[in-house]
Amino acid sequence: MAKVTIDNHIIEVPEGTTILQAARLIGGEIVPPTMCYYSKLKGSGGKCRTCLVKVAQSSAKDPRPMPKLVASCSTPVADGMVVQNITSPEVLEARKAVVEFLLINHPLDCPICDQAGECDLQNLSYEHGEEGTRYKEERREYPSVDIGPFIKLHMNRCILCYRCVYTVNQLTDKRVHGVLYRGDVAEISTFIQNSVENEFSGNIIDVCPVGALTDKTFRFKSRVWFLKPFSAHRDCPTCSGKVNLWKFGNEIYRVTGRKDQFGEVEEFICNTCRFDKKAESDWIIEGPASIDKESVISQNHYMKIKKGSIIKPLEQRTEAQE
Ligand code: SF4
Ligand code: SF4
Ligand code: FES
């Protein structure tokens, strides 16, 4: 076992645990944000750098700090390690820079993006980014791509987290898409169209942290915060059949996997459950689903997301807060 201190919280975890996993076991606001790591996908992480932390003491045997900030999702703990996340101004400053990089080519078309309201990039920028932008150059642009009848790819919004690549790699028999090229021309390959034949391909919508992969059966139908999520299940021969139904009145607008407090699906679901079962009679409804991750859906506003700042309801705001 290794005893590790993260932002003054001490926890004992098995050797081989990453700093991020240890922080998640402690929970709360000391957990670093993640845009590419996904606990259900083997090998994920190490791409986005949002989970950077400072290792102020490498281990009990070697009390020296690590020379650079490290990605907490891919750095294992050591006995006696001391880690700083929100207690390190250096980390908070670096995270601002990471957000700025992630947004360099991002269209920020949130008003017309189906991910708005449940978008990890929106939340990350709101909590860790700057209000303004220094970027004046032209953003790269790609045409949107239809990936079969159910999924739309907006490469403009992709942050190249590789989660969809890992999902198809690990859930289907053959992976036929990936990231082509490198640097600022890197893109999710158009061969992604071929991956839709698989019954589990719809899961790439759930794992995508942004609005790059969206559900065509739900596109532009409603903003997510107008919908009410319900836990439901059905006897499915292909997957667990445990889902969240997103309803407006009695109508089921979309079906997704259930997500945990870190916004990661608990179990991957099949395309039949996701796209074909939109009648109430298809499901046994268990009751309202709780959305644990901080979001406009769980709170219906952004009031508590920004630590230490209180945003008053619109009617009570002063001019300075508008
Ligand atoms: S992916 Fe997120 S940040 Fe980007 S346009 Fe959509 S909602 Fe906005
Ligand atoms: S399409 Fe989404 S899941 Fe795939 S690499 Fe881009 S951002 Fe990540
Ligand atoms: S979550 Fe660690 S690098 Fe992306």
Supply the pTM of this predicted model.
Answer: 0.85
How many CA atoms are closer than 13 Å to the CA of 105, on its beta-carbon side? 16
Is CATH 3.40.50.2300 the right assignment for the domain spanning 110-297?
Answer: no
Q: Residue ranges of the domains in the chain?
A: 2-91, 110-297
pLDDT of residue 312: 41
Ligand closest to the CA atom of residue 106: 1
283 Cα: distance to centroid of ligand 3 (angstroms): 36
Residue nearest to atom 7 of ligand 2 (CA): 158
Contact assessment for residue 186 and residue 179, using Cβ atoms and an 8 Å cutoff: yes
Mean pLDDT, 10 residues at a time, over the chain (322 residues)? 96 96 95 96 95 97 96 97 97 96 92 92 91 86 86 92 88 70 69 67 94 93 90 96 94 95 93 96 91 63 43 39 34
Cα separations (Å) of 57 from 10, 46, 73, 202, 272? 14, 21, 18, 43, 50
Region 2-91: CATH code? 3.10.20.740
What beta strand segments (E) does the chain contain? 2-6, 9-13, 52-57, 70-71, 81-84, 145-147, 151-153, 179-180, 187-188, 213-215, 228-233, 242-248, 251-257, 284-288
Contacts of 127 (CB under 8 A, 6+ apart): 33, 305, 306, 307
* Mutation test residue for ligand 3: of 39, 40, 73, 160, the one with most atoms within 8 Å of CB: 73
pLDDT of residue 257: 96
Which secondary structure element, helix H or strand E, spans residue 20, and what is its range? helix 19-26
The first and second tokens of residue 85, run together, are 């996340």
